[in-house]
Amino acid sequence: MNLTYWENIYKEIAEDLNINIKDDIKASYIFNKILIKNKNENEVNMLKNLIFNKEVIVFGAGPSLKKSIVKYNDLIKKKIKIAADGATSALIEFDIQPDIIVTDLDGKIIDQIYANSKGAITIIHSHGDNIDIIKNNINRFKGKIIGTTQINPNKFSLLNNFGGFTDGDRSVLLALYFQAKNIYLIGFDFYGIIGKYSFSNNKNKLIKIRKLQWCKKIIDDYGKNHKIKYL
């Protein structure tokens, strides 16, 4: 990933959504210290081994998610499965174990903890709005976790930046970063109602819609020369 290119996009997003970049920086320092204290290891090679040259399905949390899981169930079984945050809960309902979870912990955390305990590598993302949630829940994850940030990661020993802003586009860019053979997207709905697995009852709906627009733009920009298919 071209970090400079991403940083320019991030600055545009921060301006559009009124994000305090200093808060993101502070959150990243705190999260990195937590990971150091907990003696976490930055085992990104596990991600490469799972994704490189593999067929990958990324699950978004849109309203089409459940119907699509039913429709493509046979296909799903054969692919590496990356769940974007709240989509984890839908997979669990269908007794499907994700291989990777990409989350900032605003979904149903207990489901993500469960999937993590069953082997899902959980990529936890820090930003200015969720550092308290991370502090309160990080030690509940007993399986493998990897930390990410949306700022320059070079200052942090245990944080990565694979690109992306929302859980959905970060999941897609993760698959691109580690050179998946093909990427299929399920539950990516950018217009209309917000899916229940977004767990957005207490969120500003207008902000959520704008974030979805950024999600689509990022996927389209990064994925235009890659094999990405919406199902």
pLDDT in tens, 124-180: 999 999 999 999 999 999 999 999 999 999 999 999 999 999 999 999 999 999 999
How confident is the model at residue 203, as a pLDDT?
A: 60
CA distance 171 to 8: 20
Per DSSP, the residues of the chain read --HHHHHHHHHHHHHHHT--HHHHHHHHHHHHHHHHHTT----HHHHHHHHTT-EEEEE--STTHHHHHHHTHHHHHTSEEEEETTHHHHHHHTT---SEEEE-S-S-HHHHHHHHHTT-EEEEEE-TTTHHHHHHHGGG--S-EEEEESS-GGG-SSEE--S-SSHHHHHHHHHHHTT-SEEEEES---SSSPPGGG--TTS-HHHHHHHHHHHHHHHHHHHTTS-EEE-
pLDDT > 70? residue 201: no
How confident is the model at residue 94, as a pLDDT?
A: 97
How confident is the model at residue 200, as a pLDDT?
A: 66
Please report, rounded to a whole number, the percentage of residues in the chain having pLDDT higher than 90: 87
How far apart, in Å, are the Cα atoms of 74 and each of 89, 111, 141? 19, 23, 30
Calculate mean pLDDT across residues 9-23.
96
Number of domains in the chain: 1
Nearest to 90 by CA among 211, 202, 196: 196
pLDDT > 70? residue 89: yes
pTM tops 0.85:
yes
pLDDT in tens, 185-200: 999 999 877 778 887 6
Per-residue confidence at 207, pLDDT binned at 50, 70, 90?
confident
Per-residue confidence at 204, pLDDT binned at 50, 70, 90?
confident
How confident is the model at residue 23, as a pLDDT?
A: 98
- φ, ψ (nearest 5 deg) of residue 136: -80, -15
In which domain, by residue range, is 159 found?
A: 3-230
pLDDT > 80? residue 210: yes
pLDDT in tens, 18-51: 999 999 999 999 999 999 999 999 999 999 999 9
Tokens of 35: 């990971």
How confident is the model at residue 139, as a pLDDT?
A: 97
Domain of residue 167, CATH code: 3.90.1480
